[in-house]
Amino acid sequence: MRVVVREWERVLVYRDGTFERQLEPGRHRFPRRRRGLVRVPLRPRLVTLPAQEVLTGDGLSVKVSVLATVRVAEPRTWNEALEQPDAFVYAALQVALREEVAGRTLDELLADRAAVPGRMLTAVTPAATRAGIAVDDLALRDVVVPAEVRRAAAAVVTARAEGQAALEKARSEVAATRALANAARLVDAHPGLLRLRTLQAVEAGGATVVLSAEPGLATARATV
């Protein structure tokens, strides 16, 4: 019997149901009698964990989906150890996701989102190894927060912005009041400053200046 093994696969040879050897890439020739072959693909593939509804540590329900890149690392283990090795890894991903989300509040989950896949990968690796599978990469695709939580978060942001605007306005008003108080104290201490400011207004033009006459005389109004 002639067998060609491609680069992205391995072939397991069984004789009378007993493992005999593993064929590496290339052309092989051996007797066919009482032998069976199992081709095992090694190319990486995606395992998608669709949106799972999970409760966070503070009792909020979120939907999280996960993408995992997996490949067969041990062909014989993958073929012999478990009935459905991919399903076994899929279940391990579900458990790891639920434990990871349940151990954190929603704020912690969103703030630490980048670190979640690494911790999940550590939790899944032993189960994947038992199935002859290596998990090369793991990523959170979506974290869907309930609509009422999104509305509450938006309200908090709006209230924070309005509070900041009100605070800045109050600071401006206080600063203006202090400036007026300082100006009043300067005028009381130095009366000549007021006459000097009047002359500056006259020189600037476009202003109406009221000049006080001597006692008993009429007030003169000059427009510049």
pLDDT digits (tens, 9 = 90+) for 93-115: 999 999 988 888 888 888 888 88
Between CA 10 and CA 201 the distance in angstroms is 95
CA angle 190, 194, 197 (to 5 degrees): 125
**CATH code given to domain 45-145:** 3.30.479.30
According to the model, what pLDDT value does residue 93 have?
A: 93
Residue 188 has pLDDT above 80, yes or no: no
Q: Is a pLDDT exceeding 90 seen at residue 12?
A: yes
| pLDDT interval class at 216 (50, 70, 90) | very low
Higher model confidence: residue 188 or residue 96? 96
Report pLDDT digits (tens) over 30-88: 888 888 999 999 999 999 988 888 888 888 888 889 999 999 999 999 999 888 999 99
Is the pLDDT confidence value at 223 over 60? no
Residue 17's contacts (CB-CB under 8 Å, 6 or more residues apart) are: 36
pLDDT, greater one: 45 or 221: 45
Q: What is the pLDDT of residues 137-150, one digit of tens each?
A: 999 888 887 666 55
What is the enclosing helix (H) or strand (E) of 77? helix 75-80
Instruction: Say how many CA atoms lie within 13 Å of 170 toward its Cβ.
Output: 6
Percent of the chain topping pLDDT 70: 76
Residue carrying the six token digits 């009381």: 188
- Choice between 222 and 155, residue whose per-residue pLDDT is larger: 155
Question: What is the structure's pLDDT at 177?
Answer: 79
Domain ranges of the chain: 2-41, 45-145, 147-200
Continuous segment of H or E residues that includes residue 222: strand 220-223
